[in-house]
Amino acid sequence: MFSVRTTRLCASLALMAGAVLMTSSAAKATPAFAKKEMQKCTYCHVKPGGDRNFRGLYYAANDHSFEKFDNEFEAKVAGVKSDTVGIEAVPTVEVYPPKEYKVAKALNFMMKDINDKPAHLGRYEGKVIMVVNVASKCGNTPQYEALQKLYTKYKDKGLVILGFPANEFGKQEPGTNAEIKEFCTSTYKVTFPMFSKIVVKGEEINPFYKFLTSKKTDEKFAGDIEWNFAKFLINRKGEVIGRIKAGTKPDDASVVEALEKALKPEEKKE
């Protein structure tokens, strides 16, 4: 009799333990999209299963896809810091996702970074931007060193340099994105943003470079890219304010002067 009762008790305890385990597992379960992104549920929710933060709202509004999601840009649109999660990532703006978000025309382009991740150029609005088409096997390639020095010196004042690998000139950028990244970081210790290889001239020109070089959109600085390491300057308002020839070194006095002028805070009108 004692052994029968003991057996029943053990069975009941086992069932209870199993139920607790199942409840615990369910509470900690990660939705499929979070698994795919290798993130905890708080990446998209205030708390698992609760209200969504800006990432979850974006995900729901874009056919449950993060394919074109740029965390830095969307955090800016939502009015929160890009590294926040959970309740701290709840949008501070009245409407998110907005039906329309105004970005300067020169920066309203979705690109892919050197790691093939979406990067909306609107994330850089408010900074002074130098756009450079780069190559690894060119006589101008040592300009990487001067570009990095400029970036190191002025980044805290608002400068960002954007490198766009291109293979149109002498086929001097034949490598993959991974090879290009390895080259720039190991040889020139590049830390400024680098992007996936694009076409900057010809029929298959990337839309961003088409904007920069077309008379319809950039009349003052229009014209085909002449060679590797041609440079454009964009001010804090997202306006193209200068173009520097490929052969002109980034640390040339004229370039530094133009940069410092653009970086200088605007005087407040009384």
- The series of mean pLDDT values per 10 residues for the chain, 270 residues long, is 46 43 41 77 89 95 93 98 96 94 96 97 98 98 98 98 98 98 98 98 97 96 97 98 97 97 77
- Per-residue pLDDT at 1: 44
Count of other CB atoms within 10 angstroms of residue 5: 9
Structure tokens at 26: 């369910």
Are the beta carbons of 94 and 170 closer than 8 angstroms?
no
CA distances from 3 to 6, 7, 13, 14, 15 (A): 5, 6, 15, 16, 18
- CA gap 68, 210 in Å, rounded: 21
Domain range annotation of the chain: 31-101, 105-263
Residues pairing with 137 in the sheet: none
CA distances from 190 to 122, 183, 187, 224, 231 (A): 22, 9, 8, 26, 17
Q: List helix spans (H) across the chain.
A: 2-27, 32-37, 54-61, 71-78, 143-154, 177-188, 207-213, 253-263
- Superfamily assignment of 105-263 in CATH? Glutaredoxin (3.40.30.10)
- Per-residue pLDDT at 265: 84
Are the beta carbons of 211 and 218 closer than 8 angstroms?
yes
Are the beta carbons of 195 and 162 closer than 8 angstroms?
yes
- Per-residue pLDDT at 170: 96
One-letter amino acid for residue 168 of the chain: E
Rounded to two decimals, what is the model's pTM?
0.86
- Per-residue pLDDT at 30: 65
- Per-residue pLDDT at 202: 95
Active site residues: 138
Using only C-alpha atoms, the chain has a radius of gyration, in whole angstroms, of 25
- Per-residue pLDDT at 25: 36
